[in-house]
């Protein structure tokens, strides 16, 4: 397919921005979505004015997500892949002492926001027989004491499994990208032995680059353990 279109939520930094660059290198046009459109301008200019558009989108807003899809179709006429990547980290305190307002914002972003992205993007993906990718987490495959963040990523895994079954027979592929620790703006200080956003972007590109008859269901990416 010539010049396919990839829409990325949470595209202003970290995994989203790295994926936009990596996808552009292999010929994708990109739709960059984030809460602040201003934060996307330098990335949009880097990728080229005719190859990228930026869209203000708070993934907690159904109206924003609907407008995001409409803008993408208006600009490029199609959506061939969607990377539901927007997410927020947790807050300290465990279930007994965490900031419940922070919980609410995280759950609305990490779970509800992903659901809205699917609902608004699936008609275009069915039309193109495209590819849906979701940022889950290694934290969504294991038990982490007191972690509501982990619970939200378990939910993303469940969404991925469920939407794959819903889309069976449509030609739309579904891939869960499940990183371990990644050095992103989630952290005030860079974590030791963390993956880089480019490492996860490479996993996304691998899934996108497979032929249509190959559906990469899950990619779990963790840092290599230190040598003892």
Contact 129, 172 (CB under 8 A): yes
- Closest-CA residue to 44 (of 81, 17, 9): 17
Contact 110, 155 (CB under 8 A): yes
- Residue tagged active-site, from 28, 112, 149, 161: 149
- The backbone torsions φ and ψ at residue 78, rounded to the nearest 5 degrees and listed phi first, read -165, 160
Instruction: Please say whether the dihedral angle defined by the alpha carbons of residues 15, 18, 22 and 25, taken in this order, is positive or negative.
Output: positive
- Closest-CA residue to 5 (of 61, 74, 62, 63): 74
In DSSP terms, 220 is beta-bridged to: 178
Cβ neighbours of residue 123 under 8 Å, at least 6 residues apart?
none
Six token digits for residue 13: 């930094």
Catalytic residue list contains 149: yes
Sheet holding 52-56, edge to edge: 52-56, 29-34, 5-9, 81-84, 131-135, 173-179, 218-221
Q: How far apart are CA 186 and CA 182, in angstroms?
A: 9
Q: How far apart are CA 103 and CA 125, in angstroms?
A: 31
The catalytic residue positions are 149
């Amino acid at each position: 397919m010539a010049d396919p279109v990839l829409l990325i939520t949470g595209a202003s930094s970290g995994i989203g921005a790295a994926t936009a660059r990596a996808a552009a290198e292999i010929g994708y046009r990109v739709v960059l979505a984030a809460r602040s459109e201003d934060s996307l301008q330098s990335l949009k200019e880097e990728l080229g004015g005719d190859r990228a558009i930026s869209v203000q989108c708070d993934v907690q807003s159904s109206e924003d997500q609907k407008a995001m899809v409409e803008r993408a179709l208006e600009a490029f006429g199609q959506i061939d892949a969607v990377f539901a990547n927007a997410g927020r980290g947790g807050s300290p305190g465990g279930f007994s002492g965490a900031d419940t307002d922070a919980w609410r914002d995280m759950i609305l972003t990490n779970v509800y926001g992903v659901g809205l992205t699917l609902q608004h993007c699936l008609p275009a993906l069915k039309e193109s027989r495209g590819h849906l990718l979701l940022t889950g987490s290694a934290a969504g495959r294991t038990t982490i004491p007191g972690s509501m963040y982990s619970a939200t990523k378990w939910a993303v895994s469940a969404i991925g499994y469920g939407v794959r079954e819903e889309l069976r027979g449509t030609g739309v592929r579904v891939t869960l990208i499940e990183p371990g620790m990644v050095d992103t703006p989630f952290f005030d200080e860079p974590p030791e032995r963390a993956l880089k956003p480019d490492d996860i972007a490479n996993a996304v590109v691998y899934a996108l680059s497979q032929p249509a008859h190959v559906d990469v269901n899950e990619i779990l990416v963790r840092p290599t353990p230190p040598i003892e």
